[in-house]
Chains A and B, each alone.
Chain A
Amino acid sequence: MSLSNLIKNWSSLRVKRPYEDQYKDKDYKWAMVIDLDACTGCNACTTACYAENNLPVVGREAFSKGQAMHWLRIERYWGEGEHMDKFPDHGAQFLPMMCQQCESAPCEVVCPVGATHHTPDGLNSQVYNRCIGSRYCSANCPYKVRYFNWWQYPERAWPNPLEQQLNPDVTVRSKGVMEKCTFCVQRLTEAKNRARTEGRRVADGEVTTACAQACPTSAITFGNLADDKSQVARIWERQQIKLASDKQEKDENLRGYRIFEELRTYPSVVYLERVRDSEA
């Protein structure tokens, strides 16, 4: 962003995001659907995420202090239902929570150095080299899905020979930087580059995130929302969820919802509500 660019294109930097049909003519807008009815809380997605993205295992002590680095966490809630007094496990339900890749992300505006910003394909990216660790992004994130490197993990998280298992496509982060779910951006970039050399768009199902790949019940669907025919776009369509709306006008019986939509973060992840036995 040069100074002349700043002065000339001042108004374009102030465009409200997202707007209607923002990604209509674009090639990519990555999005996700998570079916809570299919989620069994098995944590395979979390494990896959740890392996794919070089997440450090912090150890019992740091974990109990709340310093875990799980980009994707499985939250367990105890719901209400029939016979809850006899079978409390019956009410257990799980919610995989990761960065929602908000279209109007609260973290992006407050970063003093612009280390987190929006990519043209709708990701909320994090530039580790630029991050100074002010943690304002985490403070302003309503989902609290940003994780800070409180310790110098490379020194202790992968003792020899465990460093051999690190993913060479992903940076190992040092202490003092913020990190979060990237929708496996290394996979996306590789797929996009491959498709570009072949002069085409990435096909649906050609690339997916580690969590979606690992999910045994296929609860996670990942894809390109800009492609009308992709599975993700069809589910969004069927659930009548519009990306650029903060209050969906949809059929009451549909299960799709986005978390904290009323905060106008415009998340890219749609959750499908769990259907209970008594309701089904």
Chain B
Amino acid sequence: MIHTTDESDIQIERRFVPKAKDISEDIAWAQINKDVLRSMERPRLMYWVIFLASLALFSFGVYCEVYQYQTGLGVADLENPQVWGLYIATFIFWIGMSHSGTLLSAILHIMHADWRKPIYRFAEAMTTFSLMTAGLFVLVHLGRVWEFYYVVAYPNERWVWPNFNSPLVWDATAIGTYLTSSIVFLYFGMIPDLAICRDNAKGFRKKFYWFLSLGWQGTDRQWANFRVAYLTIACFLIPLAVSVHSIVATDFAVSQQPGWHITSFPPYFVAGALYSGCAAIITLFIVLRYVFRFEAYMTMPILDKTCRLTFAIAMVWTYLNLIEYASVWYGNDEYAKQTLIFRATGTYAPYWWAMNFLGSIVPFALAFKSLRNHLPTMMVVSLLLNLGMWLERFMIVTPTFAHGYYPWTWTGDWWPSWVQWGIVAGSFGWFSMLFMLFCKIFPTVSMYEVKEMVYHRFMARKARA
């Protein structure tokens, strides 16, 4: 695995890039191609460490799932009334992670925020893979997973339909649509870069990229069509992203249980989704920057902007979180109030307070410029934020079961079994494994968009002179 690379050949950000500029102006276009294509060949040793670790985690998750599949969901220590456990909590977490890809690639694309250009590709890949992971959790959670297709409204000779009243059917529809659209969006935005890969590859890889690049030649007509189509898909994707997590929120808001039946849940979930997604982007930013030597493209000013965006979203989330508590506290629903008090003082109180601390206090680290520009700190902070967001989902699902309407079923001591933890850990392995594979096979930095950035700056400078 150890190999030598000519370090002098790589554009490394040795000089300070001013805040107004996102990346250095004088990177040649050929150099951009060279740097990005190199990322697909020889990554640092750390790549293999991460990949193998994820593979190991994933294998353990598969082992747990096979065990659960053969024995029954009893091995997960689920019970009445704790029927959902970590599976649904982690499902919401992964759905949430998928939102920032769309935020970066679609919303910021429409708003012409140029700084997103070097990092939107991996954010978009993150969207796709975390949606796939979330989809896995739906399957893992089902009692009879081999009948999962009953949820889908497919034509059949008996005209048996799913129950369209059920939020789970909305879920299946919304997630299916969102997953398809984000795969299309990710692939579509990659076509010009795949053509560059095709032109530089040999052997079977050439065939592979030749097939995927759909005969892209870079003619004016192709670019014109590409631009229109890309913008159209971006516009199509934005309402989808908002609707998906709103619908996941209705799983809870439509139900009748105390602690779930809350009107503000859809925006609260969307804010939480963007929040954890942005935090994950910071984590992956730092990892990719190191692993693939993207220092010249994933620069500190871009990280700075991402961090500020995350801070803003964190504050929105905090606000909506406080609204939820306030509306329950001052509301007339005694049951919901009791559940809230149980959350804050009952068995799960440490996790509830940890969730509030990690979700609302820790993001203030992002408000300090010196911390924002310190990579190790940002790595830790972003992981902590995501831990907080995972705890938030855990705190939505579990206490309501533990302290619902019916006093006879109140339980304070429920804890998930190792099988549940194993599958949750396996999902993280599955996600990082897919993500790392993607980064190796496809260009993680959008070459053509970075070239645009450099070109625009070059032209602006030329115009000034």
> A residues bordering B, Cβ < 8 Å?
1-3, 6, 62, 65-68, 73, 75, 97, 106, 109-114, 130-136, 138-140, 142-144, 146-152, 175-178, 260, 263
Contacts and interface: CB of A to CB of B under 8 A. Distances in A.
User: Chain A CB within 10 Å — which of B142, B401, B411 has the most?
Assistant: B142
24 contacts: A1-B159, A66-B80, A66-B81, A66-B82, A110-B166, A111-B163, A112-B168, A112-B172, A131-B143, A131-B144, A132-B150, A135-B141, A136-B167, A140-B255, A144-B80, A144-B81, A148-B73, A150-B72, A150-B78, A175-B72, A175-B73, A175-B143, A175-B144, A260-B405
Contacts of A2: 159
A132 B77 contact: no
Given A113-B162, A131-B144, A147-B80, A139 B257 contact: yes
Contact of B150 (A68, A113, A263): A113
A1 B165 CA distance: 14
Contacts of A130: 150
Interface string B141-184: 11111011011000000011111011111001000000000000
B252 to A, nearest CB: 9
A176 B147 CA distance: 10
Contacts of A146: 80
A149 B78 CA distance: 11
B404 interface: yes
Contacts of B409: 144
A110 B144 CA distance: 17
A6 B165 CA distance: 13
B216 to A, nearest CB: 42
B254 interface: yes
Given A65-B79, A110-B254, A178-B143, 11 more contacts: A66-B80, A68-B80, A75-B408, A97-B408, A109-B165, A114-B160, A131-B143, A132-B145, A132-B147, A142-B405, A176-B72
Contacts of B147: 132
Nearest to B71: A151
A144 B406 contact: yes
A67 B85 CA distance: 14
B84 interface: yes
B4 interface: no
A151 B160 CA distance: 28
A118 to B, nearest CB: 12
Contacts of A133: 73, 142-144
Interface in B51-76: 71-74
**Does more than half of chain A's interface fall in helix, strand or loop, or is it mixed?**
loop
Nearest to B410: A144
B154 to A, nearest CB: 12
Residue among B143, B167, B404 with the most chain A CB within 10 A?
B143
Nearest to B417: A65
A146 B409 CA distance: 12
Contact of B143 (A1, A75, A135): A135
B256 interface: yes
Interface of B: 71-74, 77-84, 141-145, 147-148, 150-151, 159-163, 165-169, 172, 251, 254-257, 401, 404-406, 408-409, 411, 414
Contacts of B84: 135, 139
Contacts of A66: 79-82, 411, 414
A172 to B, nearest CB: 15
A110 B406 contact: no
B260 to A, nearest CB: 9
Contacts of B82: 66
A106 B258 CA distance: 13
A195 to B, nearest CB: 30
Contact of B83 (A113, A138, A260): A138
B169 A263 contact: no
Contacts of B79: 65-67, 150
A139 B401 CA distance: 7
A112 B166 contact: yes
A104 B177 CA distance: 32
Contact of A1 (B77, B151, B160, B255): B160
Nearest to B251: A136
B406 to A, nearest CB: 5
Given A65-B79, A66-B82, A132 B143 contact: yes
Given A106-B256, A111-B163, A134 B81 contact: no
Contacts of B257: 139-140, 142
B227 to A, nearest CB: 40
Contact of A134 (B80, B142, B401, B414): B142
A151 B169 contact: no
Contact of A67 (B71, B74, B159, B254): B74
A260 B257 CA distance: 12
Contacts of A132: 142-145, 147-148, 150-151
A111 B166 contact: yes
Contact of A152 (B72, B148, B167, B408): B72
A2 B158 CA distance: 8
Given A134-B142, A142-B256, A150-B74, A3 B408 contact: no
